[in-house]
Structure 1
């Protein structure tokens, strides 16, 4: 394919194969940001969609669920698809599908139409993440691999964080269709740049046959698992037959898929890469990293919006310093890798800082404000930023370049599923902890308790000054006390969750003992 910009010819010599690497990095990162942005951008617009489309909360939830399920189905096979159709063609086609479906989502006039186009949008977006990472692994020289992952990692961190902010701004100032229309100009820019600069892989080899049965089993297994995670808490888990159906379908589908991929000659996902201990350890660590990132991004906004009264824009502004800190630390961690600092030491430092940040989160109260959030959130960004780049480097260290697209698909799937598990567990624990904490507080606030009676009398006197009816004043006093108990129970629950996130990250530190080889060293040896 000839370049569409005059005077810019592709070069294939060994000396010039890295010439456009930073433009390529920005191109694939932009596409990845759009894909991740759309995982969370719709959340703040859900009430508006319900009103326009006449849908219930349970029905409108499929707008989010359909997108994420389609995403995870495509993620593990994106490497295979990029080899079959050519990386540039597949990447560009994914962007085109994403743009067209975004326009269709904005123009949707029915719930069914919106959910359908969100699924199509998810299928297009799912191919962007893994293709982007495998592209960077090939177009950057070994000594700059850290910088490549830092640029890509910034998009991974910023995308989910900016979603609620951008969605809230567009919905409040324009209308909910604009959360989809915003993808058109940015997607068009990514498309033009990808057609010009993104190269085809030099290492991929097309399969001689297509495993359609494997594709079906993967769609059933991963799709059921993701749907289970998205809807489980809402359906009260094992209390629902629908959830049990998802569990059975997921177990059977994934088990049959793995067995088939190990037996056939041309698998669509080569699961044998998991035999590498370092890659397997990186997958587990990446799963926990995804859980930590998406869980904190999910829980903190819920905390400040329900207890502190923040709107979407204020929440986004509170989170923004954390995203900036992540980006800065990713670049710094890549420089440290280039200077020979062991990636495991950088990861360890990141985990310790993240744990300290979660300890600070544990001290948030119902009276905390933006100033109280600043440094704990910045430290959270620093910790996660220090982990991402070296973890990607060591996870892929033993993977040959021709297996990189396949491995990055599996690695990104683990991180995505980690995020889904983290959000599902957080939502369930938040509800359970609130009930438990409220029950505990009620034990200490019995109506015959002197301190409780004193508080009720003060509230009743206050409301008596506003209403001549003694019965009304007493009822309002009891309701106020009940609300205060619920608010304190919720605050205790958030504190427990925040610290739990840090402890979970701490528990996977022993995996660092398996991670010894660096990505740069592996590529260098390959090159020779």
Structure 2
């Protein structure tokens, strides 16, 4: 998943009824908790560990940094597509078998990612990795809840959440350290020992607690249309800049395929008896406003999370390790504040809490829009630390809004659809942010080049100074070009941050379109299970 995710994303709610097994006790519950947490940690870690390694991956494979982002988006898109299938797969194969198979296939995909000789094969293996990772997070939560008595369900969710919140802190730090001291394939190889231990321990503890299975029809046409339109749109976004957008016949074709398959997808899903995603859920005001708010915000946030380390490493001279240090603290305040947010939801309006989250996100983006090429480490890290508070007040209230008012039997499909839209928005947001960064940088480069020509007195003075330092004419012009490029790329990044701040503010009224749950602000049990 998530990515890459800056913080843990809410998982889909349990996709099938849990068999009535008694809670685990003693060492079995301890080992089971560690095994499930390790698998979850591995999955969430893999969503964030690659962010700071993109320049190393791009450089080693001989592609541009913007092309390297396909490593992130390919995983996110395939993961999003797999999410709606979790319910069907669970009922077809059983929770435990599906979960263990997901871990083992994830290990194999990670190994293949590390062996990838070029970008094309790496993207293919990341697609595979995202597909098999789909059921892992929701099922880890479901199995965790089944391990504890109902009275300790809050403790089980707290332990699960702590795991998913610490992984985004460790991901950038670990990814940067590995990239600087070893080689980028090791960001994938480290999954192998963790996954093997988690799979073995999970099977040892839970194999005798399998859920009933049954054969159910699957919406193959809807699934095929879903894969086609999402994939076509994502490829169009990823390759648009490279191929000059609609001046390219390839981009035009991708756009037509995406549009036509999307229209057919809508028609088919609204008339199918067993749809792969239940689009009728969008008839609910709370579901629609909640999904739009959480998805757009997640797309903007995820785009910034990918953009920040790229800018630091390609333009500011940061190593992968130090770029990880800048981006890692996002989880600190989230870990501290999350328990208090959970309690506040029992008495407070979730729309107000979500609005505060958007205000903080906007503040963080405005702070980043004031950076310059001389910014120091402390100034860079401060917004990242503050963003953790927004993360704590973002997911749970919006999930509560999204699922409020729905009957219990609709919760799994609603949660799955919500997560599909959110994860897909994260992939789209990454592509849009990196593409617009390059577009804005090109505009600023053209403007700066006009005022830094040799006829400009200030430019001439700078050139004379560089020559006096013993540099040749070619060296001085090369240095001047590097300075202009760095300034242009920095100004382009600041434009993205500034636009993000505005988007977060615009999303606040969208939250208030939702009706408040008459039963109170606290999320239902099902909603809590979706986080």
Q: Does 1:511 align with 2:510?
A: yes
The 3 A distance-change label for structure 1 pair 379 and 206 is same
RMSD: 3.9
Q: Secondary structure at the match of 1:428?
A: helix
Counterpart in the other structure of 2:272? 264
5+ residue gaps in structure 2?
Answer: 1-17
- Do the aligned partners of residues 47 and 116 (structure 1) sit closer, same or farther apart at CA in structure 2, a change above 3 Å counting? same
SS at match of 1:294: helix
Selected match of 2:217 from 188, 209, 212: 209
Match of 1:35 among 3, 22, 43: 43
Go from structure 1 to structure 2 and tell me whether the alpha carbon gap of 1:461 and 1:110 turns closer, same or farther (over 3 Å shift). closer
Q: Distance in 2 between matches of 1:259 and 1:138?
A: 38
Question: How far apart, CA to CA, are the structure 2 residues paired with 1:150 and 1:511?
Answer: 29
C-alpha deviations, 1:446-501, integer Å up to 9, x for none? 54444x2xx4234314423415xxxx34x444443343333323332222221221
Deviation at 1:60, TM superposition (A): 7.4
How far is the alpha carbon of 1:72 from its aligned partner?
2.5
**Residues 1:436 and 2:435 are matched in the alignment:** no
**What is residue 326 of structure 1 aligned with on the other side?**
334
Q: TM-score, normalised by structure 2?
A: 0.81
Q: 1:155 to 1:225 in 2, by over 3 A?
A: farther
Q: What is the aligned partner in structure 1 of residue 324 from structure 2?
A: 316
1:432 Cα deviation after fit: 1.9
1:123 matches 2:127: no
Conserved? CA contact 1:31–1:128, under 8 Å:
yes
Task: Tell me what 2:252 maps to.
Answer: 244
* TM-score where L is the length of structure 1: 0.81
Q: Check 1:51–1:292 CA distance in 2 against 1; reply closer, same or farther (3 A cut).
A: closer
Quote the residue 2:396 is aligned against: 389
Counterpart residue number, 2:468:
464
Residues 39-58 of structure 1: pairs in structure 2 closer than 5 A: 39=47, 41-42=49-50
Gaps of 5+ in 1: 1-9
Which residue in the other structure is 1:6 paired with? none
2:394 alignment partner, SS class:
helix
Q: Secondary structure at the match of 1:265?
A: coil
Which residue of 64, 70, 85 corresponds with 2:93?
85
What CA distance in whole angstroms lies between the structure 2 residues aligned with 1:199 and 1:359?
53
String of CA shifts for 1:24-67, please: whole Å, max 9, x gaps. Answer: 78765643443343345446656766788x76569977655543
**Distance in 2, Cα, partners of 1:55 & 1:307:** 18
CA–CA distance in 2 between the matches of 1:445 and 1:249?
45
Which range moved further: 396-405 or 325-334?
Answer: 396-405
Displacement of 1:143 in angstroms is 9.7
User: Any residues of structure 2 matched to 1:85-484 within 5 Å, and which?
Assistant: 85-107=93-115, 114-132=122-140, 159=167, 162-192=170-200, 194-195=202-203, 196=205, 208-338=216-346, 340-445=347-452, 447-450=454-457, 452=458, 455-466=459-470, 472-473=472-473, 475-484=474-483
Cα 1:111–1:289 change in 2 (3 A) is closer
Q: Deviations over 1:225-280 (max 9, x none)?
A: 33333333333332333322322222222322232222222223222222222111
Which structure: larger Rg? 1
Between the two proteins, the alignment pairs up a number of residues equal to 505
Q: Is the 8 A contact 2:172 2:328 kept in 1?
A: no
CA distance in 2, matches of 1:254, 1:282: 22
CA distance in 2, matches of 1:84, 1:255: 29
CA spacing shift, 1:449–1:103, aligned 2, 3 Å: closer
Range 81-90 or range 160-169, more displaced = 160-169
Q: Distance in 2 between matches of 1:519 and 1:205?
A: 36
Pairwise CA distance, 1:336: 1.8
**Distance change (3 Å), C-alpha of 1:87 and 1:243:** farther
Change (3 A) 1:443 1:286: same
